[in-house]
């Protein structure tokens, strides 16, 4: 979309149909010649999208000649086209200025920027402050050159990262716009595309279109930067690590192909950065190998996240494998600052709030191990993996108990029974019977969840589905929808779960208890759960054993431990006990010892307790509220528990 001045210039060129010099246009519109050149670049791009071209001559200037039948359409379009400059937000102006500064290898004045954006110099000054803050967050600087203007300064590696980040986050319908921003000639860009497509085919996996575009964009930027004398370097240690990968060999082939075709010299470091793009690419399928070096940190991350969620996730092999496959490209992507937008981020943050909060505490394990920083998009992807693991653990507590009712005789009933078992083996068929046998009392004895019937049923308190005895496709869809709905309802009930006030009852709180060691602390807190029939005695043994076998990962915060074991270790019902020690004890944690609060959890599955746990975490995350648990009386603690239970 063209701004107002650019539309005026294009209309002027259409009306005159003759060459006009840049100087004449600059004088006409009272702006600098540089601003006019920016405008002509934008106009050239706009008309090119419509299959036309500006006629630009080095000495004579520029002209735009249209066939007579096209003139009316173009003039009408220019008259009705909205003013793009009025639609630019502060953020959009910031990004536009960044784009200009990145691609101009000479200082740009605030006057030129004001002309380009069609805003006042005062507005540009405010925008430049936003530009400066953005650059600082990417380890770059905005430098003013006396009497010339502004330019970006910093390490070449940081310039490349920042530019890639800027373009990857542009929301624009035109897929080719990022490539235009590189300034690479169309024919050269085509050569780059051909080289990339030719050599990535040799990889044992496919890349998405966006990943291929990202690599092509990176190469286009690299070529322009190299021509301006900006060569990038990579530490030998990193290069040595990359040389052994198949992606590096492919990157070298791409670099050699482009170098020979365009007659440029491409250093090995550029191939190294191409390799990072390939390693960080989003795969169309997940059959790429995973590195054994990921295993230790991922296990640690899973263990710590599970501890904060009050469940043991360490035995879930599918979670371990899924995270390792996911993290392989993620780590390279984060290392090169290539952002992958997560379209489900907002939904995940809302749906999996306790999981997201737990990951916020445990993700530094991965960040420290691999020297990267996870943004909200990437954390949301991690939450999906953890959420799926919790749902696998919880599962469906029992199969739906279904009664089959048939009014057409035993043979029909057996036909329906056979087909139900064939298509829905996950249903527990309680019985088959005629309608006249049933009564509310009889159904209650049978403990039936719902009925599948071949005839209409009235007056019974159990939901029912009417089907054909032959169980048509439509009938099967009705039953499948019912099963799915019940599973979703169960999942929602588990994720909502009781509030903290319902779980942490007054009789489960014991304050200022004297113990000799952490084992005794766990056993005394566990005894509260035994005394109130939440767990069997063997559950307490299991909690102690898990710490002995896996270490003090249950010490989730400064001075706070949350022992727990698996539901199958003797859980009877959901419960939470709080034991406050008169003298803190050490669990062996390198950061959070000594422990004063021991909070024991028993849960029938991996999700039912999450709502209460989220509310407990909100107390622990606030220093003032946490002090109530550490020093307050039982009445003050219960008052705070009641308060957060309303959230």
Show which residues are catalytic.
Answer: 564
- As a three-state string, the secondary structure of 347-375 is HHHHHCHHHHHHHHHHCHHHHHHHCCCCC
- Collapsing DSSP states into helix, strand and coil, what is residue 515? coil
Tell me the residue ranges of DSSP E strands in 448-554.
450-453, 464-466, 509-513
Q: In sequence order, which residues have a C-beta less than 8 Å from that of residue 51 and are 6 or more positions away?
A: none
Burial of 409 (0-12, 13-18, 19+ CB in 10 A): exposed
Tell me if 500 sits within 8 A of 614, measured CB to CB. no
Q: How many residues does the chain have?
A: 647
Compute φ and ψ for 414, nearest 5 degrees. -70, -35
Phi, psi of 120 (to 5 degrees): -75, 160
Cα 9 versus chain centre, distance: 44
Q: Return d(Cα 164, Cα 178) in angstroms, integer.
A: 10
Q: Kindly state the tokens that stand for 106.
A: 């000479």
Which DSSP helix (H) or strand (E) runs through 486? helix 473-496
Residue 288 tokens read as: 């790429």
Burial of residue 549, with CB atoms counted within 10 A of its CB: 0-12 exposed, 13-18 middle, 19 or more buried: exposed
First-last CA distance in the chain: 47
Q: Are 374 and 345 in contact (CB under 8 A)?
A: no
203 touches 237 (CB < 8 A): no
User: What CA–CA distance (Å, rounded) separates 37 from 42?
Assistant: 9
User: Are residues 355 and 607 in contact, defined by beta-carbon separation less than 8 angstroms?
Assistant: no
Helix (H) or strand (E) holding 597: strand 595-602
Q: Name the nearest CA neighbour of 215 among 242, 260, 251, 266.
A: 251
What's the CA gap between 379 and 360, in Å, rounded?
8
Backbone angles phi, psi at 172, to 5 degrees: -150, 140
| Separation in Å, CA 230 to CA 101, 224, 225, 239 | 15, 9, 5, 19
Phi, psi for 536 (deg, rounded to 5): -85, 160
Show Cβ contacts of residue 615 under 8 Å, excluding neighbours closer than 6 positions: 499, 500, 641, 644, 645, 647
Smallest Cα–Cα separation from 404: which of 314, 338, 493, 464? 464
d(CA 620, CA 601): 16
Nearest to 382 by CA among 358, 402, 401: 358
């Amino acid at each position: 979309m063209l701004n107002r001045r650019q539309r005026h210039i294009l209309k002027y060129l259409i009306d005159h149909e003759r060459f006009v010099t840049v100087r004449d246009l600059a004088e006409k519109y009272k702006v600098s010649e540089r601003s006019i050149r920016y405008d002509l670049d934008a106009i050239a791009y706009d008309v090119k999208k419509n299959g036309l071209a500006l006629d630009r001559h080095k000495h004579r200037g520029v002209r735009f000649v249209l066939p007579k039948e096209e003139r009316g359409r173009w003039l009408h379009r220019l008259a009705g086209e909205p003013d793009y400059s009025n639609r630019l937000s502060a953020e959009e102006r910031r990004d536009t200025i960044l784009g200009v500064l990145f691609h101009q290898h000479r200082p740009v004045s605030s006057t030129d920027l004001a002309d380009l954006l069609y805003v006042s110099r005062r507005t540009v000054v405010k925008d430049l402050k936003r530009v400066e803050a953005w650059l600082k967050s990417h380890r770059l600087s905005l430098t003013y050159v006396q009497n010339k203007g502004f330019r970006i300064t910093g390490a070449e590696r940081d310039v490349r990262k920042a530019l890639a980040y800027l373009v990857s986050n542009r929301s624009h319908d035109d897929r080719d716009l990022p490539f235009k921003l590189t300034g690479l000639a169309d024919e050269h860009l085509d050569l780059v595309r051909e080289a990339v497509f030719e050599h990535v085919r040799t990889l044992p996996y496919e890349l998405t279109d966006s990943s291929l575009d990202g690599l092509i964009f990176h190469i286009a930027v690299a070529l322009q930067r190299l021509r301006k004398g900006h060569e990038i370097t990579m530490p030998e240690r990193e290069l040595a690590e990359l040389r052994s990968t198949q992606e590096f060999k492919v990157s070298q082939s791409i670099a050699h192909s482009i170098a020979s075709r365009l007659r440029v010299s491409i250093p090995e470091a550029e191939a190294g950065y191409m390799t990072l793009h390939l390693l960080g690419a989003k795969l169309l399928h997940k059959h790429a190998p995973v590195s054994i070096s990921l295993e230790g940190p991922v296990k640690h991350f899973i263990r710590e996240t599970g501890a904060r969620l009050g469940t043991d996730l360490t035995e879930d092999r599918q979670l371990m494998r899924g995270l390792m496959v996911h993290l392989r490209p993620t780590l390279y992507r984060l290392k090169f600052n290539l952002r992958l937008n997560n379209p489900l981020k907002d939904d995940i943050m809302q749906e999996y709030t306790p999981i997201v909060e737990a990951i916020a505490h445990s993700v530094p394990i991965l960040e420290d191990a691999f020297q990267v920083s996870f943004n909200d998009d990437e954390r949301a992807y991690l939450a999906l993996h953890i959420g799926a693991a919790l749902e696998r653990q919880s599962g469906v507590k029992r199969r739906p108990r279904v009664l089959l009712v048939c009014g057409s005789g035993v043979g029909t009933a057996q036909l329906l029974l056979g087909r139900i078992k064939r298509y829905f083996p996950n249903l527990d068929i309680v019985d088959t019977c005629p309608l006249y046998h049933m009564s509310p009392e009889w159904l209650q004895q049978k403990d039936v969840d719902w009925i599948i019937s071949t005839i209409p049923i009235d007056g019974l308190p159990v939901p029912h589905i009417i089907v054909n005895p032959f169980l048509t496709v439509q009938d099967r869809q009705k039953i499948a929808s019912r099963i799915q709905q019940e599973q979703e309802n169960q999942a929602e009930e588990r994720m909502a779960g009781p509030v903290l006030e319902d779980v942490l009852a007054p009789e489960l709180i014991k304050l200022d208890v004297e113990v000799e060691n952490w084992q005794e602390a766990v056993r005394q807190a566990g005894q509260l759960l035994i005394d109130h029939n939440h767990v069997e005695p063997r559950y307490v043994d299991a909690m102690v054993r898990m710490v002995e076998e896996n270490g003090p990962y249950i010490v989730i915060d400064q001075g706070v431990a949350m022992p727990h074991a698996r539901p199958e270790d003797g859980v009877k019902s959901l419960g939470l006990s709080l034991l406050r020690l008169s003298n803190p004890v050490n669990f062996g944690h390198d950061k959070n010892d000594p422990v004063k609060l021991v909070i024991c959890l028993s849960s029938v599955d991996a999700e039912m307790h999450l709502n209460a746990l989220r509310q407990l975490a909100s107390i622990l995350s606030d220093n003032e509220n946490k002090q109530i648990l550490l020093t307050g009386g039982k009445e003050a603690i219960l008052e705070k528990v009641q308060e957060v239970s309303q959230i």
